[in-house]
Amino acid sequence: MKLNDIEERGLVLLGCGKMGSAMLAGWLAGGLSPSAVWVIDPKPSDWLQGRGVHLNEEVPASPAVVLVAVKPQMMDDALPQAADFGGGKTLFVSIAAGTSLARFERALGPQTPIVRAMPNTPAAVGRGITATIGNGVAGEADLALAERLLGAVGQTVRLESEDQMDAITAVSGSGPAYVFHLIETLAAAGAAEGLSPELALALARATVGGAGQLAEDAEEDPGQLRVNVTSPNGTTQAALEVLMDEEAGFPALLRRAVHAAAERSRELGRG
């Protein structure tokens, strides 16, 4: 399946919240015709209503792609609406957290090509990263098309097994919250050392954002970047001796945090 199949047969977007809107904006900016997109959303935003897409209208009989972007708790209502498209002619792409390929196959039929994806919130600014995995009948062309659609909001990576999705959720799915908390706590620590809260927050935001960009762009790995800015017996080394403590520092805390998130993801998947 190719991108021009979408122009000919249409793309149905089930749910258009922040993530769905970010993807739609990327598709339209990339040249996809609004007339090729059908959006089903019970509470469309003002932004969505001005995009020129088919909004809550009757959808095509055999769309090229159905992208499921509803919240997990709405899945029981959403899947029956899409059941008629199951069976093999339509590619399903899901960005719904905690919804397995097996659950989609039960609702849509085992011959339905399905790609499960886990994006993260920086997708809202085109800086996300999305992990993908297809079911047994999703071919290379299906995966490539899904990745091209998801690439509108950032990078994509392909998994070897659906079992990896819980770890992906814990690292990149939940990861932005860890970084936001780092900014909070770094700013609070700066204020405790005498900076105004406003100045401390501005410094923390810019420092984390800039360091993240440097880590993404640099050829060196993050460990080497850390070494590059750590002078022997200097201020950075003094701080890192605290942060890198194996029992009370970042290594232990993040292992526990990521494991807790992965375990919770597994529990939700079983539910």
Q: What is the tens place of the pLDDT at every residue in 109-144? A: 999 999 999 999 999 888 999 999 999 999 999 999
The residue-averaged pLDDT of 206-212 equals: 97
Maximum average pLDDT range among 29-33, 69-73, 98-102, 110-114:
110-114
Output the known binding site for NADP(+): 14-19, 69-72
The pLDDT value given to residue 124: 85
82 — pLDDT class (breaks 50, 70, 90): confident
Q: Please report, in range form, the residues annotated as the binding site.
A: 14-19, 56, 69-72
In the sheet where 128-134 sits, what is the strand order?
54-55, 37-40, 11-14, 65-68, 91-94, 114-118, 128-134, 154-158
Confidence band (pLDDT; 50, 70, 90) for 2?
low
State the first-to-last Cα distance of the chain, in angstroms, to the nearest integer: 33
Q: Are 153 and 123 in contact (CB under 8 A)?
A: yes
pTM of the shown model: 0.88
Homologous superfamily of 3-165 in CATH? NAD(P)-binding Rossmann-like Domain (3.40.50.720)
- The percentage of residues in the chain with a pLDDT greater than 90, rounded to a whole number, is 81
Residue 3 has a pLDDT of 65
Buried b (16+ CB within 10 A) or exposed e, 38-58: bbbbeebeeebeebebbeeee
| pLDDT score of 110 | 93
Residues at the binding site for NADPH are: 56
β-bridge partners, 132: 117, 158
Model confidence at 193, in pLDDT bands (50, 70, 90)? very high
User: Hey, which of 50-64, 98-112, 182-196 has the most confident mean pLDDT?
Assistant: 182-196
Please report, for the chain, the start and end positions of each structural domain, with discontinuous segments joined by +.
Answer: 3-165, 173-270
pLDDT, average across residues 16-40: 92
Tallying the residues shown for the chain, one arrives at 271
Q: What is the pLDDT of residue 265?
A: 87
Q: Give residue 271's pLDDT.
A: 59
pLDDT value of position 56: 95
Q: What is the average pLDDT across 25-50?
A: 92
231-264: pLDDT as tens digits = 999 999 999 999 999 999 999 999 999 999 999 9
Say yes or no to pLDDT of 1 above 60. Answer: no
Question: Predicted confidence band at 98 (pLDDT cuts at 50, 70, 90)?
Answer: confident
Query: Chain-wide mean pLDDT for the chain?
Result: 93
Q: Which CATH architecture has domain 173-270?
A: Orthogonal Bundle (1.10)
